[in-house]
Structure 1
Amino acid sequence: MAKSVTADKRENEKKRLARRAEKQKRKEEKKLAPKANSLDDMIAYVDENGMITSTPPEENIKKEEISLEEIVISTPKKEKEIPVIMRGRVEFFNTSKGFGFIKDLSGTEKYFFHVNNVTGEIAENDIVTFDLERGMKGMNAVNINIENNLEKE
């Protein structure tokens, strides 16, 4: 059977009064709790080790003096790099399009080059000296000079 309407109203009224009483109780407990009455009670200090404490630092502690000349706010200067001149052999050269690849003699790396970066005439199997420069797709050979070699393979 269904509950009567008046019983539901009585239960809702009891719940509402219980919530009101609980709220009043919390309000009174808050009033009775100890308060921080002064600014000194609310201040926290940080000691020389970075720890938070409630005691202020002592005035008679000997402080370490730092001279302004000792403070360095910069990165150390780079020492001048000596440019490394690399040697290689022209592996492939397309004369119609003006590009090719140089294989490093000291390793297995191959570097792209364009005819604009070559001084003089160049052909496949020439021994050359060159510098490296970062390009869009990797390292490129630039400042390419042909060595005077008597044997061409």
Structure 2
Amino acid sequence: MADSFSKKENFKKKIQKQKEKALKREERKTNNNKGKGLDDMLVYVDEFGRLTSTPPESRQEVNLDDIQLGAAPIPVEDVRKTGIITFFSEKGYGFITEDQTKENVFFHTNNCKEPVKKGNKVSFEKEKSPKGFSAIDIEIVK
């Protein structure tokens, strides 16, 4: 029996795929990186951060202690802040306006070491509370 046209076409396609596969295999064999020296595999970084195959002309020594890994360190703030009491209620609470940031900080008379009134210059420590910052350890600055 004679093969139909579609069987002949499928057979031709199969042969063509085998030839292409053999060509790709030969190409991989000729272009592989096995057996190359270490110098052929090295890549250098120039002063602009680009990758190059040529080594740098001058070599700079780097102090390993100067390399910072991770996030930038947070500078240590002074724990004691100063400010002026700008609002004081008879109920025992008020607000201190911080000198450096001009931020209002809540306080309660329970956190004061001595009696305070509106307009006093005070020093205090900030504490994170559920509703924001509050002042604790409040002392009048003389």
TM-score in same-fold range (> 0.5): yes
2:34 counterpart residue number: 39
1:109 counterpart residue number: 103
**TM-score between the two structures when normalised by the length of structure 2:** 0.55
C-alpha RMSD of the superposition: 4.4
1:87 counterpart residue number: 83
Does the CA contact (< 8 Å) of 1:85 and 1:131 recur in 2? Answer: yes
Does the CA contact (< 8 Å) of 1:132 and 1:141 recur in 2? Answer: yes
Cα distance change, pair 42–82 in 1 and its aligned pair in 2 (3 A): closer
Cα distance change, pair 17–92 in 1 and its aligned pair in 2 (3 A): same
Give the 5 Å matches for 1:51-90. 51-52=52-53, 70-72=63-65, 85-90=81-86
SS of structure 2 residue aligned to 1:18: helix
Between the two proteins, what is the percent identity of the paired residues?
A: 21
Unaligned runs of 5+ residues in structure 2 are: 46-50
Q: How many residues align?
A: 127
SS of structure 2 residue aligned to 1:40: coil
Deviation string, structure 1 residues 94-152 (Cα, Å, up to 9, x no partner): 53xx43223457885321012231012345x251412241423433222222467xxxx
Distance 1:111 1:80 in 2: 20
Residue 22 of structure 1: CA displacement? 0.8
Q: Does 1:25 align with 2:19?
A: yes
Distance 1:35 1:142 in 2: 76
Cα distance change, pair 37–17 in 1 and its aligned pair in 2 (3 A): same
**TM-score between the two structures when normalised by the length of structure 1:** 0.52
Q: Which one has the largest radius of gyration?
A: 1
2:132 counterpart residue number: 138
Residue 81 of structure 1: CA displacement? 6.0
Does the CA contact (< 8 Å) of 1:89 and 1:126 recur in 2? Answer: yes
Distance 1:105 1:38 in 2: 66
Does the CA contact (< 8 Å) of 2:124 and 2:139 recur in 1? Answer: no
Does the CA contact (< 8 Å) of 1:93 and 1:101 recur in 2? Answer: no
1:12 counterpart residue number: 6
